[in-house]
């Protein structure tokens, strides 16, 4: 059991590619096989080292480690040339000297007759008797496709597919300059790398019969193919670069955890009963190639956020802290305002409402940024009565945690809040609301006693006093 992921390095790792990689990886893991990574970089004009790096980074971020590779097609040119020579020698491939103009004319006349345009085999070995190759033309090499019969395969995901050979042209496998073409390289690689199961996007379904014919001509084993349906955007259209986040790294930037993205992607077009949240080990145990949908999956960002929220709330606080530290620095804040224990405690409190790391980092603003309440919150909560409540709370908190006084903690702070409210002749909210706006800059926060306990006492008092002073 050997699978592969074979991206073309012409851009970032696309979310659809990531899902294909995840399925190939999990399938190999499930059966104890190997997962091979191959970079299909023969299109020299469109392939870049940056894109290769982006793909490797994306794979590393998703933690999809290859057992073999990355192999690069550009390093295998000698091998492709060798196989082309072998096919030529066996009469399975031949030189074709037809010029572009000639082929254009051929297509035109076929169209005029209402026929499907296709190469007419004019340079096939059986048709060249007595024909002299034109001078100065560097021929392409064509694969001599079988004339009759059909190519049939039982697709892992789509079921049996059959394509008539009459639908297939004699594919060009090497250009005039000798460089091998895409479908041919894939065939030689899948053969040499002993790939038993090809899992790839269903935009490659049309390539499969051509590849199978070449494999057969080479006497190579034909792998099992599984074509994964596309991912559509929320509007039922193809995912678009402009409208949708499609690069895996974009999800990293937006604050999604890789395990959340993997969990979410695994459910796009595959299911195991009603299971939505499961570990990667569990996924590998379940993913045997069955239960894949044969129709396109729809990308649902809200669901991804829901999955991410779950993982954020089950992640070790130490790891989350590490992940949000640069995001906090980007906002111009410093975690040093908080003690080490409070930093971790803040994570536990604030993550309950966070569905991305960006949202979590923003929430730290309540603790780390200078409070800047909105005019509306000021008006509602920091009118004279509210400011008086802030002043009263500031002085009531001033001795807390000192000498024999009880410590600076949630229970003590809660007691002080209640006593201060009672002293002002009211209930908790008459102190809690002004305190929220004064200390955290907003009226909506997690439990106010819990939040106050996260900040050093003197900072709380200072913020209350500033608000009291107006």
Residues forming contacts to ligand GLU in the complex (CB under 6 A) are 6-8, 40, 186, 200, 204
| Distance of alpha carbon 112 from alpha carbon 129, whole angstroms | 29
Please identify, using beta-carbon distances, which residue of 8 and 266 lies nearer to ligand GLU: 8
Between CA 389 and CA 467 the distance in angstroms is 10
Angle at 182 between CA 176 and CA 186, to 5 degrees: 130
Taking the C-alpha atoms of residue 142 and residue 2, their distance in angstroms, rounded to an integer, is: 29
Q: Exactly one of 116, 131, 238, 241 is catalytic; name it.
A: 241
Q: Is the peptide bond before 70 cis (omega within 30 degrees of 0)?
A: yes
- CA–CA separation, 200 and 24 (whole Å): 8
Q: Are 80 and 37 in contact (CB under 8 A)?
A: no
CB of 30 to ligand GLU, least distance (A): 19
CA terminus-to-terminus distance, the chain: 72
Cα dihedral sign for 301, 304, 310, 311?
negative
Residue 410 is among the residues annotated as catalytic for this protein:
no
Residue 8 or 308: the one with the smaller Cβ distance to ligand GLU is: 8
Minimum distance, C-beta of residue 434 to ligand GLU, in the bound complex (Å): 59
Q: Are strands 140-143 and 172-174 parallel, antiparallel or unpaired?
A: antiparallel
DSSP 331-384: TT--GGGS-HHHHHHHHHHHGGG-SSHHHHHHHTHHHHSPP---HHHHHHHSSH
**Smallest distance from the beta carbon of 72 to ligand GLU, in angstroms?**
12
Nearest distance, CB of residue 31 and ligand GLU, angstroms: 19
Pick the closer one to ligand GLU by CB: 7 or 373.
7
Strand residues in 309-451 grouped as ranges (E)? none
Q: In terms of CB distance, is 6 or 28 closer to ligand GLU? A: 6
Task: Give the residue with the Cβ less far from ligand GLU, 202 or 449.
Answer: 202
- Listed in order, strand segments (DSSP E) in 6-128 are 34-39, 68-72, 93-96
- The residue assigned the tokens 């930037």 is 253
- Of 3 and 420, CB closest to ligand GLU: 3
Q: How many CB atoms lie within 10 A of CB 310?
A: 17
DSSP code of 442? S
CB of 204 to ligand GLU, least distance (A): 5
Q: Which residue is nearest to ligand GLU (CB)?
A: 200
Rounded least distance, CB 200 to ligand GLU, Å: 3
Q: Who's near 73: CB < 8 A, 6+ residues apart?
A: 38, 39, 40, 41, 42, 185, 189
Kindly list the catalytic residues: 241
């Amino acid at each position: 059991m050997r699978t592969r992921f074979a991206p073309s390095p012409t851009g970032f790792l696309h979310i659809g590619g990531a899902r294909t990689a995840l399925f190939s990886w999990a399938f190999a893991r499930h059966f104890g096989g190997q997962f091979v990574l191959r970079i299909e970089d023969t299109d020299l004009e469109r392939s870049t080292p940056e894109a290769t790096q982006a793909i490797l980074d994306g794979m590393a971020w998703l933690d999809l480690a290859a057992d073999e590779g990355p192999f690069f097609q550009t390093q295998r040119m000698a091998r492709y040339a060798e196989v082309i020579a072998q096919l030529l020698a066996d009469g399975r491939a031949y030189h074709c000297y037809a010029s572009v103009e000639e082929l254009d004319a051929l297509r035109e006349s076929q169209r005029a007759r209402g026929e499907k345009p296709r190469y007419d085999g004019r340079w096939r070995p059986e048709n060249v008797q007595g024909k002299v190759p034109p001078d100065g033309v560097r021929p392409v090499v064509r694969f001599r496709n079988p004339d009759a019969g059909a190519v049939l395969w039982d697709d892992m995901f789509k079921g049996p597919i059959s394509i008539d050979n009459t639908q297939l042209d004699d594919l060009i496998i090497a250009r005039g300059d000798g460089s091998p073409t895409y479908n041919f390289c894939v065939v030689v690689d899948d053969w040499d790398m002993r790939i038993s199961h090809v899992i790839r996007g269903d935009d490659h379904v049309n390539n499969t019969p051509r590849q199978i014919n070449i494999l057969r001509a080479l006497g190579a084993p034909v792998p099992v193919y599984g074509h994964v349906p596309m991912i559509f955007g929320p509007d039922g259209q193809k995912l678009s670069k402009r409208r949708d986040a499609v690069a895996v790294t974009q999800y990293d930037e937006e604050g999604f955890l890789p395990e959340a993205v993997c969990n979410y992607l695994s459910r796009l077009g595959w299911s195991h009963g009603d299971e939505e949240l499961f570990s990667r080990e569990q996924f590998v145990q379940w993913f045997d190639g069955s239960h894949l949908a044969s129709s396109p999956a729809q990308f649902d960002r809200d669901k991804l956020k829901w999955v991410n929220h779950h993982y954020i709330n089950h992640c070790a606080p130490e790891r989350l802290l590490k992940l949000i530290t640069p995001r906090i620095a980007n906002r111009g804040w410093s975690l040093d305002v908080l003690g080490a224990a409070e930093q971790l405690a803040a994570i536990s409190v604030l993550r309950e409402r966070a569905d991305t790391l960006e949202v979590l980092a923003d929430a730290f603003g309540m603790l780390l940024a200078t409070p800047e309440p909105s005019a509306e919150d000021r008006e509602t909560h920091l009118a004279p009565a509210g400011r008086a409540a802030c002043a009263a709370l500031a002085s009531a908190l001033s001795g807390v945690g000192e000498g024999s006084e009880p410590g600076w903690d949630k229970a003590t702070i809660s007691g002080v809040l209640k006593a201060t409210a009672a002293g002002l002749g009211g209930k908790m909210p008459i102190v809690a609301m002004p305190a929220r706006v004064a200390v955290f800059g907003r009226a909506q926060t997690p439990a106010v006693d819990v939040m106050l306990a996260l900040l050093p006492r003197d900072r709380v008092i200072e913020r209350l006093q500033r608000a009291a002073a107006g």
